[in-house]
Structure 1
Amino acid sequence: MTTGHAEFDRFIDGFGELVTGGAILPAWSPDGKALAFLDGTPENRTGRLVDLESGENRPLFADVAVLRDAVRAATGQTPPGRGVPFEHIGFAGPRTLVAVVGTARLTVDLDSGEVVKLPAESPDDVHFGHADSVRRDPQKFLRTMPLTDPTPARELVSPDGSVFASTVDGNVVLRAVADNRTVPLTTDGTPEHEYRFDLVDPMLAMLGLGFPVCNWSPDGSRFAVHRVDNRGVHQSPQVHNLKREDEVVNRYHAQAGGRLERTTLHVLDVYGHDPVQLDLGDTTDIYPVHAAWLPDGAQLVVFLMSRDCRRAEVLLADAVTGATRSLFTEESETFVRIHHDVYFGKKIGLFLTPDGTRLLWLSERSGWKQLYLYDLDGTLIRQLTDGEWPVDYVHRVDGEYAYFTAHLDQDRPYDVHLARVPLAGGPVEQLSEQPGVHSAMFAPHGEVFVDTWSTPAEAPRSVLRRSDGSLVCELSAADTSRLNWVPPREFTAIAADGETELWGTLFFPVDFDETKQYPLIEHVYGGPQIAVAPHSFQGMFTTTAQALAQLGYVTFVVDGRGTPERSKAFHDVVYRDWAGGLVPDHAAVVEQLKARYAFLSEAKVGVTGHSWGGYSAFRLAAERPDVYTAAISSAPGFDPYSSVLYECYLGFPQTDAEAYREAALYPLADQLSAEFLIACGTIDHATWTDSVKMVDALIRAGKKHEFVLLSGQPHGYTSVHNSYFWRKAADFFRTHLTKENQ
């Protein structure tokens, strides 16, 4: 294996593991007075304890060697490494920690240093469901979601912790902590007409990265669910070939212009009263979402979005009768929300104040995403934020302020800062300072938060701030001593319109030499629901772009027009013109990079992308063979007719036929002259058919290409299959982009 492949494997398998610290996982004490966290590698891990009032930051354990001896005495095991022997910690009391070493659960008294091993659970108790770890911890169940395979999820605990909710065969069931037995909350659900509820991953919620869900009423007496009627919706087949006999499974996959699953909203009563269906009228071609419970648990706020995403309505619903009244609506000539946000994540941009009397609403009516405050009569009280910059999302609301992330610095438009604005009206206060992408994790009482930030070239750093943004203390800075690299560079280029500034990031091999020539590879996405160019240390596309660079390339990622996180006009370029900004902008960036940098002046250019990135890679290569020499499409979504995901941007095939014809890729097969490779999993019901159709189109057009079949793989590949795919990709680009193979 060449040095380049070794570096590729090092980055693709564990770029994040080469850097430790900087980003912390806080444990907040139950009395609200302290923050504890672990830092460093297992070999020399440390712990810190921060007094939230004074800001004193001191070692969590006075003597780590003594702690390790106490752990050894309590468990009979010698902990690995030389540092704090715990991977995670939590508080069991104001001065008591709970941790795990191997299979042993421990408590640590922070005052005396005493380590106590908690009694081990009986294997029989665990097997029969009597053990605390079974009864009191959320268990896994298979959750169904739109368009995807059922995925493992964890039960949702009630507010008082007495029961957990999950779904089985289309019905909601409750599992009691007291005896671990389950009872159905509904009995009329089926896989075709099923009850579902929304979930946020607990870890994401703890980190402040998950979005609120609205299921349990505040007192735990009611449970909000939606019921999905899949009958008549198109089904895509999955053929599972790896067992002795083939198995065919059909997955519901609504197609553009076809029948959409019909969703209704319901409130279930845990004491046995009949379910209540909320009166939303005919919800055919509507996306309804439970938004929030009012504090008294008697009413809910409901969000509705039309199938074309151009109209949103907010209603107030009575949880007992199901009656509703409209509060306000918003309509737009283009989409009012990003379809993925509503369809998959229930990220609806609607927030209730803690007293339940006002609503915060995200709107782009001004041309920039801003916050508006409404009362529960639907009257606009005031616009809270204003400016030529977009709000990202609201992360906390208290009695006085809304705390949110935003792209406040338009000199660096993809930087993310934390800010707050008074609900009573007033100027926006920026709470974070340094350039980069900031995230915040608030203490439960909201008086302090952990501010973590980074840039592509600067590893994460965390500090503790008060709610007004004032610095309490430094917490952690990343250790990059094991990272042998050339730092990435952010860059700007001009879009094909000749005036709009685009932002991207360049990545380099570890032995980069400005005096040499390098091939160039673009890692592309181009979908309208996310911006992907990394502007933090570990952005979405960082790992792959870094790894590809180690094979002897310069790689880059850029966001062209038609993507979010900028102005509404920047995003709307995609509306009814799927590739309107894609090919012109990305090709223009390549040409500018080659003209700007001598080390790229003679570069052959490759492009690779996954999912909608696979669409983009093919289209760039097919339409601009003068720019792109080789292209790889992984799990590619080639066909705009194949999925409901296109509708918010293209309209419907019945009414916007030209937009669909322009977006279709199969007709471009006969003009492909670049080298081309497709990779797809055989059970990816979303894109397998697209791949097969493109292969047929290329064969009929007499175009050579390579096809990598990944057996039994869905839209995301397992680590073994992913490694195989990237080895094929590395060989493909080496063959077609490097001089020695020409």
Structure 2
Amino acid sequence: MKDTSLKDTRILSRLLSAALFCIGFSALAAPDRASIGQALDLRDHWLPLTRDLMLAPTWTEDGDAFHYKLSVDGGFYFFRQSLRDSAPQLAFDHNKLASGLSAVTGQSYQARDLPFEQFQYADRGEAITFYLHNARWQCQLHTADCRDITAPRQSSAFGVVRDLKQDADDSPVWSPDGRYQAQVRGHNLLLLDAEGRLLFQTDDGDGSNFYDPQSIRWAPDSSALVLVRVQPGTARYVTRVLSAPEDQLEPKVIQQLYPKPGDAVDVDQPVLVQLQHKTAIDIPNALFANPYRIDQMAWQQDSSAFTFRYTERGHQRMRIIRVDAKNAEATALVTEDSPTFVNLWAAFHQPLQLGEQGVVWLSERDGWAHLYRTDRSGKQLQQLTRGHWRVRQVLAIDETAGQIWFTASGYYPQQDPYYEHLFRIDLDGDNLTALTERNAHHDVVLSPDRQHFIVRYSRVDLPYVAELRQSSDGALLRTLAQADISQLTAAGFRPPQPFVAKGRDGATDIWGLIVKPQNFDPDKTYPVIENIYAGPHDSFVPKSFWPFGFHSGGDKVIGMQALADLGFIVVQIDGMGTANRSKAFHDVAWQDLVDSGFPDRILWHQAAAETFPWYSIEGGIGIYGASAGGQSTVAALLFHPDFYRVGVAYAGCFDNRMDKISWNEQWLGYPVGPQYAASSVVEQAHLLQGQLLIINGEQDSNVDPASTMQLVDALIRAEKDFDLLIVPGGEHSVGRSSGPIRYVQRRQFDFFLRHLQQQTTPDWNRAQ
């Protein structure tokens, strides 16, 4: 046979791939119970095989010591170190704490598998506090007495509508000097002295216009306080039926306060109460006349003023407002306007206390996320950072030293633009100093006194290294931990492969990851499945070493490997419309969530197929995703049927008018208009081609489960065939215990094997 060029080889490879697709990728071994079971058990098999991997460290309040969770034989332990002593010590008696926590919760916890990743010392080191299942707990270390110490507070649905069925905490709020107490009774504010004698009260509060006791904020010098008076919004409740409760035979009805796009929100009116004059003054609302939310209310340390953040309905305007404590005059320190959206998911501001006071805040006004500063009059002083890179997190502002500590990504052009690095800059914008520079992603925890920092750096192909460094110049003081993955590698682990291709504009780099089977054979071709999440609130392709379930998202990551091991190439991509790049990159999502970055994703897949002969997209690819990813999965089958042909959609917000108010108004705007219907896959369900499996938890509290059933109804009316799995009691994560989660994942695996590989899967109902 004569020699062929590389191009000819690829053409022949594609022809062979297409032929294999027609006969169901017959070169791939048919799966059996054992191989599918092995994939389902991958997390449990791999989790114990990493040593000395440090999870997020925590500094003590004095900054002299720190503690962290570290992988050891059989699980994890918490260790403690000090700046002076490099020898790590166990942070507490793990057996005792596991026993105490198990006794009070009724759950079985083991010493090497405690259910939290971080804690704080309390009671002078005699106790620890941590969060477990959205509650705050405290355990005494010597007695292992554990209790829930969550402070009672009236909940607020998505931060914009208070739950008036739940009583607010109306206990007195004492002034800093201990001379006065403020309390709300019968919807009005009462001001009392230390003995409980009435000094002043309001008389304009009632059920439709009430004072919120949880909003009371005293001035540091006790001369005044501020709180809000509330006009309540729409009390929309979603009703769900728990069909198979664990404690009784009959179903239960569950209601959840759940405002949706377009609903009326609580309108908060800030009120200044001056003790000297015993007056309550409404702050004139000309600068905040159309609120979506008023929050982050805080006093200046000298009690001269207070500030709050105002987000206008529609998310196209945000203001930081300063109110003078003497005359109640309001000034806009910052006004952020955007023709698309002001991204409140990445917002930051901090009022300054010294000198000209004013505020430091994060803005995308020049097309990238950068830091700016104003004085107390609202006059812009200067842009502090600039360039084609973005500030990601502000870790600290030290006004005495005149310095800001922050992380940023995209600073080094030769690196992945999502890698975060640590920087310091002066408050006047001078002396930008990079304190990390390795070609890796950096997680940084700064000490309270800003003299030291702990950095954990990694890549998907570089296990975590944790170091203690000096803040002044970044000098290395001590290597704290270096993850050992030798056992993991021996068990078959291979890192995923980053891949970059140009997006729809032909110029912008689109980044993604390729996950291959552990038994990958470069001479074979593999069908491709995309794990999609295109929510505009973040970026999602992993940049640090794969967590394998160590923290949120880990199970999804290892699920990609488990699926790949059944004979697939599994990928994840950050297309345009996701966050953490330029403002223009992000704006693609504005009022067009159904776009989901598909023009970029398809080009990325095509570039990968051009590059790798084993990457087969002939005949279409598979796709799966949850929540917004579920919506994108269905959109792929509806609007790109020639490319995406098999999809598994979990817990989708299939029509954004049915989903929560906060996320959807941020990206689709207000008022609710035709842009909402245009992004609805329910409206276009009749366009379905290919194979679709819909999976939803019956008790999803994040996305109204009725959204799924409305899609089902539309598909039935259009006489479309599809598969549906409803998990009784399942939450947004679908399963409520290990059994359903395993079952749900197996159903996904089966679906792709049957429809993308044309394989016959095991008869799971047949007795073994």
Calculate the TM-score normalised by the size of structure 1: 0.77
TM-fit CA distance, 1:592? 2.3
In the alignment, structure 1 residue 310 sits paired with structure 2 residue 310: no
Distance 1:197 1:453 in 2: 44
Q: What are the residue-to-residue correspondences of 1:107-122 with 2, within 5 Å? A: 117=142
SS in 1 for 2:87: strand
Aligned to 2:742: 723
Measured against aligned partners, the alpha-carbon deviations of 1:355-386 in whole angstroms (never above 9, x if no partner) come to: 38231111111111111111112122221101
SS in 1 for 2:523: coil
Amino acid at match of 1:253: P
Contact 1:43 1:81 in 2 (8 A): no
Distance 2:501 2:731 in 1: 36
Distance 1:470 1:508 in 2: 38
Distance 2:598 2:94 in 1: 59
5+ long unaligned stretches in structure 2: 1-31, 98-108, 130-137, 175-180, 188-205, 762-768
Measured against aligned partners, the alpha-carbon deviations of 1:407-466 in whole angstroms (never above 9, x if no partner) come to: 122431111111111113314211122222212212221111111122122222211112
TM-fit CA distance, 1:678? 1.1
Distance 1:337 1:693 in 2: 30
Distance 1:647 1:81 in 2: 44
Aligned to 1:595: 610
SS in 1 for 2:534: coil
Aligned to 1:575: 590
In structure 2, the CA distance between the partners of 1:32 and 1:548, relative to structure 1 (3 Å rule), is closer
Q: Please point out which of 401, 417, 420 is paired with 2:403.
A: 401
Measured against aligned partners, the alpha-carbon deviations of 1:624-653 in whole angstroms (never above 9, x if no partner) come to: 222112111111111133343333433346
TM-fit CA distance, 1:670? 1.8
TM-fit CA distance, 1:492? 0.7
Aligned to 2:342: 336
Contact 1:607 1:628 in 2 (8 A): yes
Aligned to 2:196: none
In structure 2, the CA distance between the partners of 1:253 and 1:31, relative to structure 1 (3 Å rule), is closer
In structure 2, the CA distance between the partners of 1:31 and 1:549, relative to structure 1 (3 Å rule), is closer
Q: Please point out which of 452, 455, 460 is paired with 1:456.
A: 460
Distance 2:96 2:697 in 1: 50
Q: What are the residue-to-residue correspondences of 1:279-358 with 2, within 5 Å? A: 279-281=284-286, 283-318=289-324, 323-338=329-344, 341=345, 348-353=347-352, 355=354, 357-358=357-358
The count of corresponding residues between Structure 1 and Structure 2 is 659
Aligned to 2:710: 693
Contact 1:438 1:452 in 2 (8 A): yes
Moved more, 671-680 or 286-295: 286-295
Distance 1:267 1:68 in 2: 49
Contact 2:577 2:585 in 1 (8 A): yes
Distance 1:625 1:69 in 2: 55
Distance 1:232 1:92 in 2: 40
Aligned to 1:156: none
Distance 1:631 1:69 in 2: 45
Contact 2:685 2:718 in 1 (8 A): yes
5+ long unaligned stretches in structure 1: 72-78, 107-116, 127-132, 152-165, 177-182, 200-213, 342-346
Amino acid at match of 1:303: R
Contact 2:168 2:213 in 1 (8 A): no
Amino acid at match of 2:655: D
Contact 2:314 2:666 in 1 (8 A): yes
Measured against aligned partners, the alpha-carbon deviations of 1:170-192 in whole angstroms (never above 9, x if no partner) come to: 4444699xxxxxx9943446999
In structure 2, the CA distance between the partners of 1:371 and 1:4, relative to structure 1 (3 Å rule), is farther
TM-fit CA distance, 1:669? 1.7
SS in 1 for 2:588: helix
SS in 2 for 1:574: coil
In structure 2, the CA distance between the partners of 1:673 and 1:191, relative to structure 1 (3 Å rule), is farther
Q: Please point out which of 643, 646, 649 is paired with 2:667.
A: 649
Distance 2:417 2:527 in 1: 29
SS in 1 for 2:485: coil
Aligned to 1:501: 509
Contact 1:488 1:505 in 2 (8 A): yes
Aligned to 1:113: none
In the alignment, structure 1 residue 562 sits paired with structure 2 residue 570: no
Q: What are the residue-to-residue correspondences of 1:387-536 with 2, within 5 Å? A: 387-399=387-399, 400-407=402-409, 408-411=411-414, 412-468=416-472, 469-483=474-488, 484=491, 485-536=493-544
Moved more, 641-650 or 382-391: 641-650
Q: Please point out which of 123, 133, 157 is paired with 1:145.
A: 157
Distance 2:209 2:523 in 1: 64
Measured against aligned partners, the alpha-carbon deviations of 1:480-524 in whole angstroms (never above 9, x if no partner) come to: 244231111111122123222101112223222222222221111
In structure 2, the CA distance between the partners of 1:624 and 1:223, relative to structure 1 (3 Å rule), is farther
* RMSD of Structure 2 on Structure 1 (CA): 4.4
Distance 2:649 2:221 in 1: 50
Amino acid at match of 2:466: S
In structure 2, the CA distance between the partners of 1:594 and 1:32, relative to structure 1 (3 Å rule), is closer
SS in 1 for 2:604: helix
Q: What are the residue-to-residue correspondences of 1:580-729 with 2, within 5 Å? A: 580=595, 582-601=597-616, 605-643=621-659, 644=661, 645-652=663-670, 657=674, 659-684=675-700, 686-720=703-737, 721-729=740-748
TM-fit CA distance, 1:325? 2.5
SS in 2 for 1:646: helix
TM-fit CA distance, 1:88? 8.3
Q: Share of identical aligned residues, percent?
A: 25
Calculate the TM-score normalised by the size of structure 2: 0.75
Distance 2:212 2:376 in 1: 27
